[in-house]
Amino acid sequence: MVSAIDDAGLLIRDCFIWLYTQNQPKAMSLNHFIEKLNEDKEIKDTLKNQLNGWKTPQIKSCFEPIVMAQKETEGTFLNNFRKYNVGLLNTNVKIGQDMFPSNVVSTDKINEVVDKCFLISKPDKKEKGDFNAHRTVKPLSLCEYIINLTTYSNEAIVLDPFAGSGTTLVAAKKLGRKFIGIDINKEYIEVSQRRIKQTNTTYFILNDIKAERQLRILEKAAKYKRLNKRKIAKAV
């Protein structure tokens, strides 16, 4: 849908998230598939115990995205509005408990249960580091949650092709995972290095290496291709 909107020449301005708390889980147990294996009962039981709690990769959906797009403006937003009466946002419109409009909308009452299940606070200065000027630092707990959710063993390699200030890399190291981080911004790479050092990480930096070398590294890690030449911070 987003690609179609973009192909139509519209500019994607934002994405609303309609948050709700009730929905049916879609992940499937693996027991049914294990029972179909041509193996003896002992092996099947071992597999069931080994994969207890692990299911097919379908997260329980508790939100719906709503894309906001518009035609390209003619001149400034103000001039465009004066000509067509469209293209601005009415911030007098409120939802929920008279909150300023945001791109997260919930029809459920926000209470202690919802807060604990769905809302993760932005990282404070202590978590980010006083030296970290990145504007969109993700919470460490969020990255740890996703890594724990998606990686089965410590042999997993976490790849972040837009590493920013390195929160995903720090989370991966704290959880004992190997990781590769890529970012085009030298300043953010330096911030990532400093944050990684603070987690007592053994790592090394590959600077200004050729694109072919980068591709070989990434193909071994996760078979990623067609990446532009970037600098890599890699931990082993």
Residue 103: pLDDT over 70:
yes
Q: Which helix (H) or strand (E) covers residue 79, if one does?
A: helix 77-84
End-to-end CA distance of the chain: 38
- What's the token pair of residue 192? 């990532």
pLDDT of residue 210 exceeding 90, the answer is no
Quote the mean pLDDT of the chain: 79
pLDDT given for residue 119 in this prediction: 58
Instruction: For residue 116, name the pLDDT band (cuts at 50, 70, 90).
Output: low
pTM higher than 0.85 for the full model? no
Per the model's pLDDT, the better-predicted residue between 19 and 208 turns out to be 19
Of residues 14 and 210, more confidently modeled: 14
Average pLDDT over residues 10-14: 88
pLDDT tens, position by position, 39-54: 999 999 999 999 999 9
Count how many residues are written for the chain. 236
User: What does 155-210 look like in DSSP terms, one character per residue?
Assistant: T-EEEETT-TTSHHHHHHHHTT-EEEEEES-HHHHHHHHHHHHTTT--EEEE-S--
Split at pLDDT 50, 70, 90, the class of 65 is confident
Between 201 and 75, whose confidence is greater? 75
**What integer pLDDT is reported at residue 110 of this predicted model?**
55
